[in-house]
Structure 1
Amino acid sequence: MGCASSKTSDSKANRVARWSSTGIVALRDSKLKTFPDEILELGRGVRTVDLTHNKIVDIPVEINKLFNMQRLIIADNLVERLPMNLGKLQSLKIMTLDGNRLTGLPDELGQLIRLEQLSVSRNLLTYLPETLGSLRNLKLLNASNNQITYLPESIGSCFALEELQANDNSIDDLPQSVCNLIHLKSLSLDNNKVKQMPSTILKECVALQSISLHNNPLSMDQFQQMEGYGEFEARRRKKFDKQIDSNVMMNSKGLDPGVDS
């Protein structure tokens, strides 16, 4: 028994030493039910935490000790809520929380001013907080496969946003502020309830190259009659002309505007 205990201690010590040396904590598929205390004890030395595919329910409030952390990946767990002090993670650039049981995101999310990628797909979210608009460095937002009925008006203040994915929700229209997203390249809203788009989105979102709106009430005729459709179509074709080869079919889903009539 003593030898087994000693080996376990050595293994844990080696693991913590490795984390401390690299700044990377990777505990995928480790059958964890709680957030490991030894990670929190490393404090400012942690840069990346990946706890994908475990059974973690709670993220402790002490996570604010990891204030140098840049990547937090806790996908495919059982997390139901995020701690209120999450906003203290001022160095965070990437947060991936796909496949959990989140029903809401705290307003403090807006304090993550360096956040560039936020992925919260496959949860139970019914809304996104208005403070989302404070994320001025956000480039990717993935909120697909939730129960969201609308996007906040403040999303138009996410000026760096390049890709917005909100497939498989219950969104019926988009806020007019989306037209402020001049760097937006890709918009995916498959399997929603979108009946109409902001009338000037194709004209004002001057970088928009890809829109996917399959299985929405919006018709192809409506889409083609929108102001700026010709310019959007030119951008779309220019993008895909670079990718087309003998193995790509012109009628594939990726090459059409994504509007079902």
Structure 2
Amino acid sequence: MRSFPFTKKIRCVHSLTNALFMHFLVQSFPDEVLDLGRSVRTLDLTHNRLVVVPLEIDNLINMQRLVLAENLIERLPVSLGKLQSLKVMILDGNQMSTLPDELGQLVRLEQLSISGNVLTYLPETIGSLRNLLLLNVSNNKLKSLPESIGSCFSLEELRADDNSIEDIPSSFCNLINLKSLSLNNNNVNQITPNLLKDCRSLQNVSLHNNPILMDQFQQMEGFHEFEARRKKKFDKQIDSNVMISSKGLDEGVDL
């Protein structure tokens, strides 16, 4: 660990609200970071070699943005749930297989990105994140999504590409603010029947490389209203299509 320049830089920003320490290749969470305490609003430790997030991270009680992407982190401490000012948490590119139930205590969280890990499931407590706008769990090992996600009533965008998900929970029909749903490269063979009818804000659905057929999608109740919303958004004619690619019209599901 290059302790001297890292410590020197921390001391330089001790009175600031943004603690940005990317690409230092540190292997452990420096005590100096935790000493910043209540003053920290943003902490970014992207591209290091962190394995453990210490229990004492709850010292940063006023932190609103936490970025720990591209490390070697295997788990999050239960004390994370005390960071109830947190609005953005980015944990992409780590080695986490589970998330603590205390995740549900982050009631102000608006953006949660955990792509590129090895998650096999999401905790049911995720449904307590009523202010969540963006959830990105792409490129994990998920076989399902919890029913409780249907309680994330503010959710606007869900990305769950490159997993092994087989179906979409019926509770998704409660996501009346959902605008974009991306489930490319999964094993989805059916969608809850009322999804398009009940999710009246839905504008984008991407289901490339799944077993579901376009005919199934087109026959869902609410498909024509969904199609109209897409046409309005892109201000062009999209005749019975779900997605557009650089190759032209693209149904969004493989026929």
Measured against the shorter chain, the TM-score band is over 0.9
- Find the aligned partners of 1:100 and 1:15 in 2 and give their Cα distance: 25
The AA in structure 2 aligned to 1:232 is: F
Q: SS in structure 2 opposite 1:21? A: coil
Structure 1 spans left out of the alignment, 5+ residues: 1-7
Q: Write out per-residue CA displacement over residues 121-163 of structure 1, whole angstroms, 9 at most, x where no aligned residue.
A: 0000000000000000000000000000000000000000000
The counterpart of 2:178, out of the listed 181, 184, 188, is 184
Query: In the aligned structure 1, how far is the partner of 2:124 from the partner of 2:189?
Result: 23
Q: Which amino acid aligns with 2:176?
A: I
- How many angstroms does 1:241 deviate by? 1.7
Residues 145-160 of structure 1: pairs in structure 2 closer than 5 A:
145-160=139-154
What SS is found at the alignment partner of 1:260? coil
Runs of 4+ in 1 over 2 A off after TM superposition: 8-22, 249-257
Amino acid in structure 1 at the alignment position of 2:17? G
- Structure 2 counterpart of 1:218: 212
Partner SS state of residue 154, structure 1: helix
Task: Tell me the CA shift for residue 252 of structure 1.
Answer: 3.4
Larger radius of gyration: 1
Match of 2:129 in 1: 135
| Aligned counterpart, 2:50 | 56
Identity rate of aligned residues, in percent? 64
Could you state the TM-score of these two structures normalised by the residue count of structure 1?
Answer: 0.90
Q: Structure 1 residues 143, 255: closer, same or farther in 2, change over 3 A?
A: farther
Query: Match for 1:222: what amino acid?
Result: Q
Q: Name stretches of at least 5 consecutive residues in structure 2 with no aligned partner.
A: none
Q: TM-score, normalised by structure 2?
A: 0.92
Instruction: Report the equivalent of 2:227.
Output: 233
SS of the residue corresponding to residue 25 of structure 1 reads strand
Could you say what the CA RMSD is over the residues aligned between the two structures, in angstroms?
Answer: 2.1
Distance change in 2, residues 1:227/1:254 (3 Å): farther
1:68-147 equivalences under 5 Å are 68-147=62-141
**Higher helix content, 1 or 2:** 1
Q: Give the match's secondary structure for 2:14.
A: helix
User: Which of residues 158, 167, 175 is equivalent to 1:164?
Assistant: 158
